[in-house]
Amino acid sequence: HGARTLFRDVFAGIDPDLDAQVEFGAFQKLGDPTTKRQAA
Protein backbone atom coordinates (compact mmCIF):
# COMPACT_ATOMS: atom_id res chain seq x y z
CA HIS A 1 0.00 0.00 0.00
CA GLY A 2 2.95 2.28 0.60
CA ALA A 3 3.92 2.10 -3.07
CA ARG A 4 0.38 2.88 -4.17
CA THR A 5 0.33 5.93 -1.93
CA LEU A 6 3.65 7.08 -3.35
CA PHE A 7 2.46 6.75 -6.95
CA ARG A 8 -0.73 8.54 -6.00
CA ASP A 9 1.10 11.50 -4.52
CA VAL A 10 3.52 11.75 -7.45
CA PHE A 11 0.98 11.45 -10.25
CA ALA A 12 -1.71 13.43 -8.46
CA GLY A 13 0.76 16.32 -8.39
CA ILE A 14 1.13 16.03 -12.18
CA ASP A 15 -2.46 15.43 -13.23
CA PRO A 16 -5.43 14.47 -11.01
CA ASP A 17 -6.91 12.44 -13.87
CA LEU A 18 -3.77 10.31 -14.04
CA ASP A 19 -4.25 9.42 -10.38
CA ALA A 20 -7.18 7.12 -11.10
CA GLN A 21 -5.58 5.66 -14.23
CA VAL A 22 -2.29 4.89 -12.49
CA GLU A 23 -3.96 3.38 -9.45
CA PHE A 24 -6.17 1.20 -11.68
CA GLY A 25 -3.24 0.14 -13.87
CA ALA A 26 -0.91 -0.54 -10.96
CA PHE A 27 -3.59 -2.56 -9.19
CA GLN A 28 -4.09 -4.79 -12.25
CA LYS A 29 -0.34 -5.25 -12.76
CA LEU A 30 -0.18 -6.78 -9.28
CA GLY A 31 -1.55 -9.99 -10.80
CA ASP A 32 -4.95 -9.59 -12.43
CA PRO A 33 -5.54 -12.18 -15.19
CA THR A 34 -7.77 -9.74 -17.10
CA THR A 35 -4.82 -7.37 -17.46
CA LYS A 36 -2.99 -9.79 -19.74
CA ARG A 37 -6.08 -10.17 -21.91
CA GLN A 38 -6.53 -6.40 -22.24
CA ALA A 39 -2.83 -5.80 -22.92
CA ALA A 40 -2.81 -8.52 -25.57
Cα 13 to Cα 2, 19, 23, 26, 38, distances in angstroms: 17, 9, 14, 17, 28
Q: Is residue 6 part of a domain?
A: yes
Q: Is residue 23 part of a domain?
A: yes
Give buried/exposed letters for 3-20 (b at 16+ CB in 10 A, else e). Answer: eeeebbeebeeeeeebbe
The domain in which residue 23 lies consists of: 2-30
Q: Is residue 38 part of a domain?
A: no
pLDDT mean over 26-40 = 57
Domain count across the chain: 1
Distance CA 16, CA 32 (A): 24
Q: Is residue 37 part of a domain?
A: no
Question: Which residue in 36, 25, 32 sits closest to 3, CA to CA?
Answer: 25
Instruction: Write out pLDDT tens, residues 2-32.
Output: 666 766 666 556 666 666 666 666 666 656 5
Is residue 38 over pLDDT 60?
Answer: no
pLDDT at 15: 63
